[in-house]
Structure 1
């Protein structure tokens, strides 16, 4: 019987990552359930790139993408462009494990719709928490301190990262400015000196 992966209500890259974990675990036959066409297309491209074939069934706007191993599936030239970078990071050389940092200076990713930006922030931390190449530290300053205090879903992924040994530092002066000192749910209160040193010691700093 095929294993059923429930990815309904999840936006990309989450369904792709969930399917990739099954493939990496040696599962050659499984089903991913999603509720949007973009996820279906990305799952089909992932399957093609990984030597799988897919069958699609739809019932009341729920899509079931059946994965099965095929020895003569495409070689991967049409791999999902949107998920390419994410999948590459999951397979990245582990020699850089724990040498890079993430700097968060605002509550959302990008510019535009605030709700979308908060959702993207949540998905970003979910993505890196599921990978092998984890950052050495995650640093929050200015408007970014609203993420470990107010973004409940991002907080859960940050807690998971913290359990894996990732250092999470949150600017105390910024928490005080926004009146969020009592709302910190993950990480430890820090200062400009410690945050600056973390950035200096990192091999690279990714700023969102």
Structure 2
């Protein structure tokens, strides 16, 4: 009988870390139980990165069971995390933890944020990723101008990761216009891979 990990009621990124712990201990197959779709998507992404297949079953009471089984042909997330950092200028990331730039006038701060992302779309040196947390998640959900700039960046190959816990907190999960619903583990991992991180 395979191991069963009960991650119901656990906040992001705990379910991912619990599954990662089982993988680190050498588990070839296990089942993890969660109670929200954000955790399901985060765990499916982890499975693919770690070389596992993840079959999802919806059970009673809003529970989802993900059956992890080791497969072949996937690049290990561990290898990606532990790979050497790229040289300066080769890769960088933008961390956005608020919906305005600066502490002064809010209207000015909003306009500066829009100008920042427009400027990025016009730059030859684009970031590898833009990472949104806390009030920053209002930008890819509520701000049409920023969302359009982010779509242009995504089309140019820039990763757009948006904190799922933050989206849930602000009630914005269904309003995400661009980007991937992510979690603390993936966002921290992406920051670790970058040669530099610019925070707004």
- State the TM-score bracket (shorter-chain normalisation): 0.5 to 0.7
Deviation, structure 1 residue 205: 0.2
CA contact (8 A) 2:133 2:162 kept: yes
CA contact (8 A) 1:97 1:134 kept: no
Spell out the pairing of 1:174-193 with structure 2 (5 A cutoff): 174-193=166-185
> What is the aligned partner in structure 2 of residue 128 from structure 1?
120
Instruction: Give the structure with higher Rg (CA).
Output: 1
> What is the aligned partner in structure 2 of residue 104 from structure 1?
96
Alignment counterpart, residue 162 of structure 1, candidates 150, 154, 163: 154
Q: Larger relative contact order (C-alpha < 8 A, sep ≥ 6)?
A: 2
CA–CA distance in structure 2, aligned partners of residues 126 and 98 of structure 1:
21
Residues paired across the two proteins, number: 114
Spell out the pairing of 1:86-101 with structure 2 (5 A cutoff): 99-101=91-93
TM-score by length of 2: 0.55
Deviation, structure 1 residue 116: 1.2
TM-score by length of 1: 0.53
Secondary structure in structure 2 of the residue aligned to 1:121: helix
CA contact (8 A) 2:95 2:131 kept: yes
Structure 1: 5+ residue runs without aligned partners? 1-94
CA–CA distance in structure 2, aligned partners of residues 96 and 197 of structure 1:
17
Structure 2: 5+ residue runs without aligned partners? 1-86
Secondary structure in structure 1 of the residue aligned to 2:125: coil
RMSD: 1.3
